[in-house]
Chains A and B, each alone.
Chain A
Amino acid sequence: GQQVMQIPQYQHVQEGEDFTTYCNSSTTLSNIQWYKQRPGGHPVFLIQLVKSGEVKKQKRLTFQFGEAKKNSSLHITATQTTDVGTYFCAGNYGGSQGNLIFGKGTKLSVKP
């Protein structure tokens, strides 16, 4: 079946360092979504990327969608302790399939 691979599984950074998580699909995606789950909380939608090569920014967060629409990345510049949590990508393959395929997530910890 379709799978979205996400790496790394864990990332520990010092506050102020950058952080990147990557997602990869073996087949072309219709679009990709990114979610953040704080410890003890529920996933919260961050952004959706639809177009090939698309780049979107939200303050210190930069999201990219690959030219082939098979991979995506989330980059955080100068991490803060408020960035702690697990970041999930979720791939949408379109068609009649009604569900997203979630990656396993990258758990980010930030040392002050």
Chain B
Amino acid sequence: DGGITQSPKYLFRKEGQNVTLSCEQNLNHDAMYWYRQDPGQGLRLIYYSQIVNDFQKGDIAEGYSVSREKKESFPLTVTSAQKNPTAFYLCASSGRSHQPQHFGDGTRLSIL
């Protein structure tokens, strides 16, 4: 079955630690996205990529980094510079930008 796989489902970060969230898709989609969702809030865009080896900052990119070395993969690193990382992180992909997005099941990140 085609889809988007995010791992891990739950992640705990220690102070000063960088952590990486995985996102893999086998839908052959060009565009991929990372969103942050806080309780009772909407989706805020962190980074997006319209094509391999290229990505753009979203509204809340500070404290995060991404890479897009392969079409299928778009990992997100939450760096120690992100002082309030506790949130639900959602990865999505679409055939091209502007087309309907397919979401993964998300990763819940908490601080230890």
- Listed in ascending order, the chain A residues whose CB lies under 8 Å from chain B are 1, 6, 30-31, 33, 35, 41-45, 48, 88, 90, 92, 94, 97-100, 102-105, 107
B binding-site residues for A, Cβ under 8 Å: 31, 33, 35, 40-43, 45, 48, 50, 56, 58-59, 90, 92, 97-98, 100-106
- Are B104 and A42 closer than 8 Å at their CB atoms? yes
Which 3 A-B residue pairings sit nearest by Cβ, starting from the closest?
A98-B97, A104-B42, A42-B103
CB distance from B42 to the nearest CB of A (A): 4
Contact A31 B105, beta carbon cutoff 8 Å? no
Contact B42 A102 (CB under 8 A): yes
Sample 20 A-B pairs with CB under 8 A, ordered by A number: A1-B59, A30-B98, A33-B100, A33-B101, A42-B103, A43-B103, A44-B103, A45-B100, A48-B100, A90-B101, A98-B48, A98-B50, A98-B97, A99-B33, A99-B48, A99-B56, A99-B97, A100-B98, A102-B35, A102-B45
